[in-house]
């Protein structure tokens, strides 16, 4: 049996913060289904520690969203590149949710990689941001996004 995702739920005011860790795969339903009754109407899903996602995991994610009460507020936070790719391929995942932040990979001329978090204002319509450049932690050189903003943030252009 393959490893499954884990979820830690903490309250922050009216919001339930769900910190997900591990692979979002065919076993995710075992964790996500019971969460529906725990998260209430305001839920922030923190994807920072989600290691991978597959089609079965996406199906479980969709079912989780579908089972939430009508009018629930869902926010995705700290989405790593593989979650961003999933959002780009499955815009339906954004029908009931908003993205607050994503992790973006930057690369300098020496090939060093750096992850940075790009924030969105969830109170405004989505728009493709400009990622700009960041300083490389290893050599100090300017690091650029590893893919064009229009491609990486396709989900934002659709919203």
Average pLDDT over residues 126-142: 91
- pLDDT for the residue 124: 87
State CA 88 to chain mean position distance.
11
- pLDDT for the residue 104: 95
Q: Where are the beta strands (DSSP E) in 6-68?
A: 6-12, 15-24, 42-53
- pLDDT for the residue 3: 85
| pTM of structure | 0.93
State what percent of residues in the chain have pLDDT above 90: 87
CATH assignment, 6-105+148-158 = 3.30.750.24
- pLDDT for the residue 1: 52
Query: What are the residue boundaries of the structural domains of the chain, listed by start?
Result: 6-105+148-158
- pLDDT for the residue 126: 82
Whether residue 2 has pLDDT greater than 80:
no
- The sign of the torsion formed by the CA atoms of 125, 131, 132, 136 equals positive
Per-residue pLDDT reduced to its tens digit, 51-101: 999 999 999 999 999 999 999 999 999 999 999 999 999 999 999 999 999
């Amino acid at each position: 049996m393959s490893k499954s995702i884990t979820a830690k739920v903490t309250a922050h005011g009216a919001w339930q913060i769900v910190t997900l860790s591990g692979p979002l795969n065919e076993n995710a339903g075992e964790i996500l289904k019971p969460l529906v009754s725990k998260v209430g109407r305001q839920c922030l899903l923190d994807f920072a520690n989600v290691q991978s996602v597959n089609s079965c995991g996406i199906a479980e994610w969709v079912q989780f969203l579908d089972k939430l009460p009508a009018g629930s507020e869902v926010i995705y936070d700290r989405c790593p590149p593989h979650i961003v790719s999933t959002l780009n391929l499955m815009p339906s995942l954004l029908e009931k949710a908003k993205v607050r932040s994503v992790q973006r990979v930057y690369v300098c001329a020496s090939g060093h990689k750096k992850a940075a978090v790009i924030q969105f204002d969830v109170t405004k319509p989505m728009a493709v941001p400009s990622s700009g450049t960041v300083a490389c932690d290893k050599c100090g050189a300017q690091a650029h996004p590893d893919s064009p903003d229009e491609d990486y943030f396709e989900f934002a252009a659709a919203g």
